[in-house]
Amino acid sequence: MTWDPWMWRQASDLLEQAERIQRSFLQAALGGLQTPVSQKARWSPAVNLVETDDDLWVIFALAGVATDQMELRLEDGALIVSGHRPLPACFTDGELKILEIPCGRFERRLQLPRDISLSLGEVRRHEGLLVIQLRKR
C-alpha cells in the first residue's frame, strides 16, 4: 500500500482540528478562574496568567485587534477585556476555505482571586498580545 501525500495531509489536518476541539472542551470543563463569555460576544481570547511575588500578569492573545477596538476594566472582582476583531477585507472578495481565527465581538471575563487586593499596573501591547500587570497590595 502506498501513501498518498494529499490524503496524509488531510488526515493530519483533521487530527490537528480534533486536538484544537479537545483543548477547547478541556478549557471549558476545567474552567479555572474564568467565567462564561457574555451573550453578545461571539468568541473569547486565549489567556495566560502568571503570578509572581508582587504581581499577577495576564496575557491575552489579541492579534488583529486595534487598541481602539478593545476595552479593559476591573469590575466586581473580575478583569474584563472586550472588543471587536473585524473581518479582513479579503473576506468580501474571496471564497472562504478554512475559518479558525475568530472575528467579531469578543469578551473574556477572568475572575480574580478574592483573597488578594489588586490594582491595575502596566498595560502594553506586544506582538499580538495584550499584557496586563495587576499589582498585589
Q: Are residues 12 and 46 in the same domain?
A: no
Q: Are residues 26 and 43 in the same domain?
A: no
Q: Are residues 97 and 120 in the same domain?
A: yes
User: pTM score, two decimals?
Assistant: 0.69
Which structural domain range is residue 16 located in? 1-30
Structure-derived torsion over alpha carbons of residues 27, 32, 35, 37, reported in degrees to the nearest 10 = -20
Q: Are residues 26 and 49 in the same domain?
A: no
Q: Are residues 79 and 126 in the same domain?
A: yes
Tally of structural domains, the chain: 2
Q: What's the pLDDT at 64?
A: 93
Cα 13 off chain centre by: 22
Q: Are residues 53 and 4 in the same domain?
A: no
Residues 64, 128 contacting (CB under 8 angstroms): yes
Q: Are residues 126 and 91 in the same domain?
A: yes
Cα Dmax for the chain:
66
Task: Tell me the mean pLDDT per 10 residues along the chain, length 137.
Answer: 64 70 56 51 92 96 95 94 90 81 92 91 96 95
Q: Which residues contact 58 (CB under 8 A, 6 or more apart)?
A: 47, 48, 49, 79, 110, 131, 132, 134
Phi, psi of 121 (to 5 degrees): -110, -130
